[in-house]
Amino acid sequence: MYAIPTAAEILGVTPAALEAALERGETIATLSRSCDVDVDTMTESLVDAEVPDVEALATIAGFTSDEIAQFAAELRAYLVEFVNEGQDAADNLFDSPALVAA
């Protein structure tokens, strides 16, 4: 996942420092605010870092365009939750297994 290195770069910290802050209960949103980084800008940067690779891999794997669009939307929802509430909350969004190519 590119979210940690991308967020760390934007915040001007190392990925290890960001991970340590997240383990202490901070969120990327709270850290962004404390560094005067717009949370929506941060979120879009993370989406932009993640979605194109996922879409490319899903295309290679044989998913349909509708499935790829759904997966991209789910990834966006995951990242929004990850930024605002943390990884555990984001993980809890998705109870079912990932899409499987037909």
The per-residue pLDDT string of the chain (102 residues; one tens digit each, 9 = 90 and over) reads 789 999 999 999 999 999 999 999 999 999 999 999 999 999 999 999 999 999 999 999 999 999 999 999 999 999 999 999 999 889 888 765 554 555
Q: Are 42 and 3 in contact (CB under 8 A)?
A: no
pLDDT value of residue 38: 97
pTM equals 0.85
